[in-house]
Structure 1
Amino acid sequence: MPNLWEKHVVPRLIKFTCSQPAVMKDRSKIVPKAQGHVLELGCGGGINLQFYDREKVTKLTGIDPSAELLDYTRKEAANLGFDMDILDGVGEAMPFADNSFDTLLTTFTLCSVQDGKQVLKEMRRVLKPGGKILFLEHGRAPDEGPEKWQRRIEPMWKHIAGGCHLHRPVASLFTKEGFALQDNHGHYTPKTPRWLGWMEYGEARPL
């Protein structure tokens, strides 16, 4: 059962930090590429809704384990007039049939899941043949200095930030699980500590 910090502070912290201008700029580059029946994994907060191209998206489904963040999503969907199926659930065991979605979108979610490999297996399962995964994630920095600090800070950081892993790799997580990366980009977020600011975004397709 979540403690008071996880229930009341973490959702607000996530919504605030994940909607900073530099982060929103990255979101605007990846979210509009979603098309067809879209599943947003970690949809809590509703931050991505403003960036979807409604002419491309035929149906939108979202899943997140945080009841508090899902409340934000429902409010944002209502404000934008966005018809969206919103479910409480985790990425390791998604309540969807095989081959259900044309696009899967994950933004700042793979860092906090319990089992990244299992989540990718589930993503592969629910993705239609020829479908794609769009991702925007922060993770393990490619440079020795920031990477060293990530390893040092992560044990404490996970308790503060809802289980967020600073040191979890992004690109290699996909490639090791049999996905090919396309149009993959990485950079440090301006005006952010480098141990926190390494971002990667792109597209992954099952091999």
Structure 2
Amino acid sequence: MLGRIYDATWGRAFSAFYDRAFEATEEAGLREMRCELLKGARGRVLELGAGTGLNLELYPHEGLDCLTLTEPDPHMFKQLRARAEKECPGADLIQAGAENLPFDDNTYDTVVVTLVLCTVPDQAAALREISRVLRPDGQLLFLEHVRATDDPSLAKWQDRLETPWRFLGDGCHCNRDTLAGLKGAGFEIGELECAELPKAPPIVRPLVTGRAGIS
């Protein structure tokens, strides 16, 4: 009951102001990071948690056989559909969560997650699904804010503020060690860059971006 109330009120509001809330961050460098990451997309591409579709216009015009976008949140999905109709009418849109993907094994050459693995309710299950739908020589392109493993003081604050941040951030966990999660799920990190999410609160500033394959 409380979950439905939250979704109907704050969940709806969060999706409505999401793009505006990220505007300064995008302009300060996040958009460039997304663009650089997506240059590596190839073949059959699946983006999980596509949100409002901020990545749509950044995909390369060549080298993609198909583009499939999933998003579980109904409010985000509505905005995603409207944006895709204008910017990428050939994309396939599916309302689904990352933990239970409606795709066959070994389907995709590329899976994309940008600021998604912080929010999925069960990260381990989502990573298992990514591994399942990726082809043996496939790649996972990721851009995620993460736990401050090299800053114990900041990590403590991430732990302290995790619950209120998760409420305000529509399920976002500010203290997830996503790199450890990737390695634990059997992924091999091929490329990795550690950076900061520009113009973001300190607890969500540590950022990793890169490429991983199935080991």
TM-score, structure 2 length as denominator?
0.91
Aligned mates of 1:112, 1:92 — CA distance in 2 = 12
Q: In the alignment, which of 32, 39, 49 is matched to residue 25 of structure 1?
A: 32
Structure 2 residues without counterparts, runs of 5 or longer: none
Give the CA deviation at 1:182.
1.4
Superposition deviation, residue 81 in structure 1 = 4.0
Moved more, 43-52 or 193-202: 193-202
Match of 2:154 in 1: 146
Superposition deviation, residue 123 in structure 1: 0.5
- How many equivalent residue pairs? 207
TM-score, length of structure 1 as denominator length: 0.94
Instruction: Pick one of 6, 13, 16 that aligns with 2:20.
Output: 16
Question: What one-letter code is carried by the residue in structure 2 that aligns with 1:7?
Answer: G
Greater shift, 192-201 or 59-68, is seen at 192-201
Taking only the aligned residue pairs, the percentage that are identical comes to 31
Q: 1:197 to 1:123 in 2, by over 3 A?
A: same
Distance 1:98 1:147 in 2: 36
Indicate if the aligned counterparts of 1:34 and 1:52 stay in contact, CA closer than 8 A: yes
On the 8 A contact 2:147/2:206 being kept in 1, the answer is yes
The superposition leaves residues 86-122 of structure 1 with CA deviations (integer Å, 9 ceiling, x where unpaired) of: 0111111100011111100001110011111111111
Determine if contact 2:189/2:211 at 8 Å carries over to the other structure.
yes
Range with bigger deviation, 9-18 or 191-200? 9-18
Q: How far is the alpha carbon of 1:192 from its aligned partner?
A: 3.0
Matched to 1:31, the amino acid is L
Aligned pairs for 1:99-178 (under 5 A) are 99-142=106-149, 143-178=151-186
Letter in 1 for 2:106: N
Match of 2:86 among 64, 69, 79: 79
CA root-mean-square deviation: 1.5
Greater Cα shift, 96-105 or 11-20? 11-20
Which stretch of the first structure deviates more once superposed, 64-73 or 114-123? 64-73
Give the direction of change, closer, same or farther, for the CA distance of 1:86–1:190 in structure 2 (3 Å limit): closer
The structure 1 segments of at least 4 consecutive aligned residues displaced by more than 4 Å after TM superposition are none
Amino acid at match of 2:203: W
